[in-house]
A and B are shown apart, each in its own frame.
Chain A
Amino acid sequence: GENVEQHPSTLSVQEGDSAVIKCTYSDSASNYFPWYKQELGKGPQLIIDIRSNVGEKKDQRIAVTLNKTAKHFSLHITETQPEDSAVYFCAAADKGGGADGLTFGKGTHLIIQP
């Protein structure tokens, strides 16, 4: 089955700086890569996703890049703000476009220092 590795486990950045979280996956058949943000006491919420037919996608301060050859994808957050503090999870769908569930990384605790 699919295996997703996520780094770092904790990331502390100054407010206004950029944050980068990286994930690798094992199954070359994976074709859908979402990123979820989880705030304390809440369920994960999708913030951005990318499919295997594109290399980069951007939504305001958030961007995701995908390198299929190397089997890794990254989340980039620019101009970080206090409300960006949360746990971020990457995930991969190894078949059926996620219809049979997602494989998640272990998460990155992002801390924005004022």
Chain B
Amino acid sequence: NAGVTQTPKFRILKIGQSMTLQCTQDMNHNYMYWYRQDPGMGLKLIYYSVGAGITDKGEVPNGYNVSRSTTEDFPLRLELAAPSQTSVYFCASSQGGDRETQYFGPGTRLLVL
């Protein structure tokens, strides 16, 4: 049981490039989330999903897209990378309902130059 895994661990992008951050969980959780963490700040919700085929925007969705074709995977897509998207990205999952505990992955550090 690996929990929540994220790839890559670190990536440098040039302005305007695109990339997909991968997230997989093996706990059969219904709910999955993407957060970004900027230095000295808490985590801000980008997108979330309550089940396969269902996604919704969080607090800071602009510049990102997500999909949820399976229960296990929840990739985050950056289409036109901007310096403002330099951050650490965390994926999380939870069973949902009354069991709200969110389990976080190790994070992806992204630098846009």
Contact = CB atoms under 8 A, between A and B. Distances in A.
Interface in A41-80: 41-46, 49
A68 to B, nearest CB: 18
A87 to B, nearest CB: 10
A43 B90 contact: yes
Interface residues of A, number: 28
A42 B42 contact: no
A100 to B, nearest CB: 6
Nearest to B109: A41
B100 A106 contact: no
B53 interface: no
A46 B94 CA distance: 12
Nearest to B3: A43
A91 B35 CA distance: 13
A108 to B, nearest CB: 10
B62 interface: no
